[in-house]
A and B are shown apart, each in its own frame.
Chain A
Amino acid sequence: MSNPTKPLLTARYGIAESWKIANAERAGAYQVAKRALTSIEPAKLKDEVKNANIRGRGGAGFPAGVKWGFLNPGPNDQVYLVINADESEPGTFKDRSIMDLDPHRLIEGAIISCYAIGSHVAYIYVRGELASSVTRLEDAIADARKAGYLGARPFGVDHEIEIHVHTGAGAYICGEETALLNSLEGRRGEPRLKPPFPAVKGVFGMPTIVNNVETIAVVPDVIDMGGDAWSALSRLPADGGVRLYGVSGHVRNPGLFEAPVGITMRELIYDYAGGMLAGRPLKAVIPGGSSTPVLDPRRLVDAPGEDQPLHAWHGKSEIDVPMGVDTYRALGTMLGTCCAIVMDDTVNMVEACRNLMRFYKHESCGQCTPCREGTGWLVDVLNNLCAGRGKPEDVDLLVDISNNMMGNTICAFADGTAMPLLGFVQKFRDEFIDAAHNGLPSDVRHDHSVRREVEKVA
């Protein structure tokens, strides 16, 4: 096992009724916020966050401290903190655990963050489906207010802070930060052109910091330990701390794990998640949500040059590269939300790809033609391949459509559709060509490995 550190982010997850304020406080909640607001300068708090090298946990991996540094509010500007709890990227289920099992950590992080960036109002945008998480959050906020940690004078300090939960209503695109801002303003969740970036002109036309739930939830630990010390928990440079790793699919113990940044996918699957379900080899793993290109354990890192970022792993399997924002980018994929979807050898990659592309077709907001038309076209071509109506040229057509979607739209949704498609085709081309010749078998489905248990067949 990979010398697991003392749990931080999940330290209170195991406590009975951990979401109640008394139980959370008995385990240390709000101590750091109290200290921060009563005895630390906002500028110093921002420095610690910068030193912590927190790479945004929402998928793009942008350094939180750098983002906070973009704020430059005018004298009449109201600065907003918006916490992204839309969690809709297929395969991703980590932020929900923070809201359900330790909402006070998120609130404490929000209080410290608001104070640091000079904000008086934070909105937590939660996807509409997570109604029970919303209830826990709202109860927790009410209790924190009663305790005097929110409101006009949190901890007796003259810096008003209010936190409101805003509930979405079913739309993946609202996780994209500018779509989220539109949705928060009561509009259709259509992404905005950037620039201006939210830090300059965000919600209600005001400077806004948008961060993921987990990004904000680590702030109390960062301030408690100091940014440098927290950063050093990671195994990688410039990508600090610990984070939540999720594993779903064909592993023995699907679920969430806390570990340092930089464990490998092999460790995640075989040490943390208990290895593969009975009798089946690992075929492929989508590393960090459906928009991140798939990894193939048979493929080896090809970085012979000493100046290549992955040289240290030259000749090793893709799943032996440490999981970090920069290492995974160098590998041609993305760390994304760090929630892996694991597939065994019963899964047909064309069908897996089609499942995800149907998702993107369903969720495209329709503003930009390449995305609206491209997602539909990809599904049409994949449907033809699966039904045995395809031709080998269709495989190149998929690539062509994807290449014409990337970089040609307002937001990154189209890239997040095209990149995984290209990954599937590039790494499992044989299966696509085979489908073009033969279609898919009529019993193709993803759940052969578990079907007897789910259907309770004796």
Chain B
Amino acid sequence: MAFALTPEGEREVDELLTRYPERRASLLPVLWLCQRQNGWISSEVVDYVSQRLDLSTATVRGVVTFYTMFFEEPVGENVVWVCRTLSCDLRGGKAIQDHLENKLGCTAGHTSSDGKFTLLKAECLAACGQAPMVQINDRYYENLDVEILDRIIEAHVTRGAEAAADEFSTHATFGAPSKAPISTAPPPPSPEAVRLASQPPPAPEPVGDES
């Protein structure tokens, strides 16, 4: 079935076109509008966008495939992105992913059998100071542990994404000290002490010449 934006969406496209001196520049925002309405970028969406912006379907498809957030196939009702880049992994990213896989009954890259959740692995989402974290749809959920995560997932099931976001989703924060226990380990000893502890000063190491 052919795809078309709602009249309101059409008006948004008209407004978007005024923001740029070239028509093509509104391609990403228009794709976003379509994905929000349709859930994913089907070939009907590609046809629609290419006509609306006067671009070849190959051009539109080339752009769609470049960006990870444009879905090239249908996804579940909610999309859960679990961040597994280093800062999150240092704070339990793997534990969060494992828990989600158990709870949703599907591994990353798949959709739960009830169609409610698609679970995807994400790269760093610029929330590293509040790790571990997940993105669900277009909101962030940070400083997670498995209990909070359970409540967030339950809320999506029972009350819907918007209510869940209102209760649990997070923005950047500043200056909220954590409850973590204070280190009993001393800071690294002063450099002099380290050297005495039989650590030779590093020789300048020309990278690549080592064997």
Contacts and interface: CB of A to CB of B under 8 A. Distances in A.
B169 interface: yes
B158 interface: no
Nearest to B69: A170
B188 interface: yes
Contacts of B81: 129
Given A168-B28, A186-B27, A90 B90 contact: no
A451 interface: yes
Nearest to B184: A279
A278 B182 contact: yes
B185 A276 contact: yes
B182 to A, nearest CB: 6
A189 interface: yes
A93 B129 contact: yes
A95 B86 contact: no
B191 A247 contact: no
Interface in A141-168: 162, 164, 166-168
B90 A129 contact: no
B139 to A, nearest CB: 6
Interface string B196-208: 0001011111011
B68 A93 contact: no
Interface in B70-95: 70, 81, 84-87, 89-95
Interface in A65-124: 78, 87-93, 95-97, 99-101
Contact of B177 (A88, A274, A453): A274
Contact of A132 (B89, B138, B187): B138
A10 B81 CA distance: 29
Interface stretch (A45-53, A378-386, A442-450): A442-450
B128 interface: yes
B15 to A, nearest CB: 11
B95 A132 contact: no
B97 to A, nearest CB: 11
B194 A317 contact: yes
Interface in B158-186: 169, 171-178, 180-185
Interface stretch (B5-13, B103-111, B141-149): B141-149
Contact of A169 (B28, B172, B194): B28
B202 A278 contact: no
A298 B194 contact: yes
B114 interface: no
B121 to A, nearest CB: 9
B29 interface: yes
B199 to A, nearest CB: 6
A319 interface: yes
Contacts of A249: 86-87, 90-91, 128
B90 A250 contact: yes
A399 interface: yes
A356 B124 CA distance: 10
Given A253-B177, A254-B178, A456 B25 contact: no
A319 B191 CA distance: 10
A168 B67 contact: yes
Given A315-B201, A355-B89, A189 B66 contact: yes
Interface stretch (A55-63, A217-225, A339-347): A339-347
Interface residues of B, number: 85
Contacts of B175: 13-14, 255-256
B198 to A, nearest CB: 11
A353 to B, nearest CB: 9
Interface string A179-216: 00001111111000000000000001000000000000
Nearest to A426: B205
Contact of B25 (A97, A185, A256): A185
Contacts of B87: 90-91, 248-249, 341
A456 to B, nearest CB: 5
Nearest to B81: A129
A297 B186 CA distance: 13
A426 B126 contact: no
B67 A171 contact: yes
B31 interface: yes
B187 A275 contact: yes
A438 interface: no
A403 B28 contact: no
A166 B210 contact: no
Given A255-B129, A276-B183, A447-B93, A89 B207 contact: no
Cβ-closest 10 pairs across A and B = A454-B92, A186-B27, A169-B67, A131-B138, A170-B69, A170-B68, A248-B128, A248-B87, A90-B124, A100-B172
30 contacts: A88-B123, A91-B128, A97-B174, A128-B32, A129-B122, A129-B138, A130-B126, A169-B69, A170-B70, A184-B25, A186-B26, A186-B63, A188-B62, A246-B128, A254-B130, A254-B178, A255-B129, A255-B174, A275-B183, A275-B185, A278-B181, A282-B188, A299-B202, A315-B192, A317-B190, A363-B123, A402-B208, A422-B207, A446-B89, A456-B145
Interface of A: 10, 13-14, 78, 87-93, 95-97, 99-101, 127-133, 136, 162, 164, 166-172, 183-189, 204, 246-250, 252-256, 266, 269-270, 274-282, 286, 290, 297-300, 302, 315-317, 319-320, 339, 341-343, 347, 352, 355-356, 359, 362-363, 365, 396, 399-400, 402-403, 422, 426, 429, 445-447, 449-451, 453-456
Given A132-B140, A188-B63, A447-B93, 10 more contacts: A128-B32, A132-B171, A166-B29, A170-B68, A189-B66, A247-B129, A255-B174, A266-B188, A286-B86, A454-B96
